[in-house]
Chains A and B, each alone.
Chain A
């Protein structure tokens, strides 16, 4: 985040914004946790003859998490680029 963008605001507003952001981050982290668990469970666990995960299932879940996190990081980079592109376009249009 670029904190300088919040600089123009009075302190009280700045704090309110920061706490809104932190709140959203926490909420989103928890949401991500749950949805990743569900995804990897659905993709990796198919048999219920035993109550413990076997080594294949464990390995699958580990790789599923790794893969998803790397994927998410990549999407995050592309998303930022697309965002920046759209903002630049908007600013160009506003200048006319």
Chain B
């Protein structure tokens, strides 16, 4: 349910872009739906991986308590921020690589 919530947030953007061109041809519309779907799936996957990575990095797996202590809370916050930054850098690098591949020689 939580991952789905992130999907919803992303869908809003994708659908706003789709809705902005409400008079699209069926083919364009189908493509917009596909893109919205890909975007949603990407976001959900990103969230899930962030959650599981930060759990592995931050949580004491002896499970002495069911609650997160202060240290774990801070760790999670910082982990999420760093994970996000890594996502950004990788995105830039991949974008740059694609441009190089596509540039005419």
Chain A positions within 8 Å of B, measured between CB atoms, are: 1-2, 5-6, 8-10, 13, 16-17, 20-21, 24-25, 28-29, 31-32, 35, 39, 43-44, 60, 62-64, 66-68, 70-76, 78-80, 82-83, 87
Contact mask for chain B residues 1-38; partner A; CB cutoff 8 A; 1 contact, 0 none: 11111111111110110111010000001000100110
Task: Verify A5–B16 contact, CB threshold 8 A.
Answer: yes
Write the nearest CB–CB distance from B20 to chain A, whole angstroms.
Answer: 7
Q: Which residue of chain A has its CB nearest to the CB of B29?
A: A13
Using A21-B11, A21-B40, A66-B66 as known contacts, say yes or no to A1 and B5 having CB atoms under 8 A apart: yes
CA distance A29 to B47 in the complex (A): 13
Query: Are A29 and B76 in touch, CB under 8 angstroms?
Result: no
Residues 40-81 of B, flagged 1 when their CB comes within 8 A of A and 0 if not, give: 110010011011101100110101111110001100110011
